[in-house]
Amino acid sequence: MASDDRRANLQPLSLYVPEPKFRPGDAVDFTSVRLPAAGETRRPDTADKAETFIDLAYELVRVLDEDNQAVGPWNPRLSPDTMRSLLRSMALVRAFDERMFRAQRQGKTSFYMKCTGEEAVAVSAAFALDYEDMCFPSYRQQGLLIARGWSLVDMMNQIYSNKGDRLQGKQLPIMYSVREAGFFSISGNLATQYPQAVGWAMASAAKGDTRISATWCGEGSTAEGDFHSACTFASVYRAPVIFNVVNNQWAISSFSGFAGAESTTFAARAVGYGIAGLRVDGNDALAVYAATAWAAERARTNQGPTLIEHFTYRAEGHSTSDDPGQYRSEGEPNAWPLGDPIKRLKDHLIAIGEWDEERHAAQDKELAEDVKRAQKEAEQNGILGHGLHQPLDTLFDGVFEELPWHLKEQQAQMLAEETASGRPWAHKS
């Protein structure tokens, strides 16, 4: 029989293309999202082998229940003072975001990215890690710096690329770099920070240090080759690193299904590499803290890496250049079943008699004023549209320890041309 005759009896192949459940104008129904009850997910010992708790890559670690109580084996049992500090840091992140968003709309900077609804992902992690641990963030973890008490003015100087910018205007706004706070330079190239974090962790272990590293990326970035290279090296060498995958349901305009969310969880990526995997309620500040502390203890006791999927939702646009109303239903943010991380922790503190609405409102007002004062101070160093804030010859700084001869020639030529043009920029000297 000819091959053509055999093929005539076969069903034609079809290509599956993921499609989000809700588009602009659609009613939203998240009842299909499976949410285990708070306190239901087991907590293995940090010394247990990864293959003994594969189920946790498919479950959901939750601590705060429907009655605003902290329950179950993952309850970190934080003191009220610590929880109030955690709440304050998350509220400060939101106040900072609101102020900088308005600054961009006023033309004071070219770009900004909020983390509204995702504050717990970074802030709780910062509280659970040691200050000396090295963080390799993506572009929505400004909460790490704020929770570590870093200067808002310094962060704003970097956003404005002004004369106070420690990066001399060489980075995009919001791509902070603060070595003193263990905050590695943010890269706009997705997932590059993953192998960097593994390399740093491997070096720490090779030197017999006690510091670990942690890194973050969005769920879409798990499709990048850097993500998988990092997982391979971390698995083979048992690097003391925490991988955080922030599954906020959307990339810029494509939903998580294009990164594989319809097939399995993102925490399940860990299973194939033989490393520990957890899936966590990313809007539960106590759950994120508990999972990070658990993963940090594994790393410090040479149990190897952990991958944590933070199941959360991007409440607003991808950035100030994005209009989410063009690709998703307007009802999604309010319908998200895991709520708002700030409100949930606030409600818990109120429920246990350690907070109240009046103090919370007063705190919000105080933090808004703090951010406003920081903004005024930063803007004294300049904003977008006020000209070049850095001496022109600093363009060549920060790449080589000693500037090569050919770049010295190019620098001199550039400055000579600027002088000849009659509009020379200021020099360092």
Rg for the chain, CA atoms, rounded = 24
pLDDT at 1 over 90: no
Rounded to the nearest integer, the mean pLDDT of the chain is 95
pLDDT band at 427 (very low <50, low <70, confident <90, very high): low
C-alpha distances in Å from residue 356, one per residue of 88, 132, 257, 362 = 13, 34, 40, 10
pLDDT recorded at residue 398: 84
Q: Find the mean pLDDT for residues 372-384.
A: 97
Q: What is the pLDDT of residues 306-360, one digit of tens each?
A: 999 999 999 999 999 999 999 999 999 999 999 999 999 999 999 999 999 999 9
Show which residues are catalytic: 314, 318, 327
Report the CATH superfamily, name and number, of domain 50-379.
Thiamin diphosphate (ThDP)-binding fold, Pyr/PP domains (3.40.50.970)
pLDDT at 429 over 70: no
Q: What is the pLDDT of residues 85-114, one digit of tens each?
A: 999 999 999 999 999 999 999 999 999 999
pLDDT band at 392 (very low <50, low <70, confident <90, very high): confident
**Exposed, middle or buried by CB within 10 Å (0-12, 13-18, 19+), for 50?**
buried
Q: What is the pLDDT of residues 274-289, one digit of tens each?
A: 999 999 999 999 999 9
β-strands 213-218, 241-247 pairing: parallel
Q: What is the pLDDT of residues 170-215, one digit of tens each?
A: 899 999 999 999 999 999 999 999 999 999 999 999 999 999 999 9
109 contacts 51 by C-beta, under 8 angstroms: no
Residue 122 zone, left/alpha/beta (φ > 0; ψ -120 to 50; rest): alpha
- Strands (E) located in 119-169: 134-136
pLDDT recorded at residue 397: 87
**Exposed, middle or buried by CB within 10 Å (0-12, 13-18, 19+), for 110?**
middle
Token output for 386: 């006020």
| CA torsion, ordered 271, 274, 276, 279, to nearest 10 deg | -10
pLDDT recorded at residue 423: 67
Q: Find the mean pLDDT for residues 247-276.
A: 94
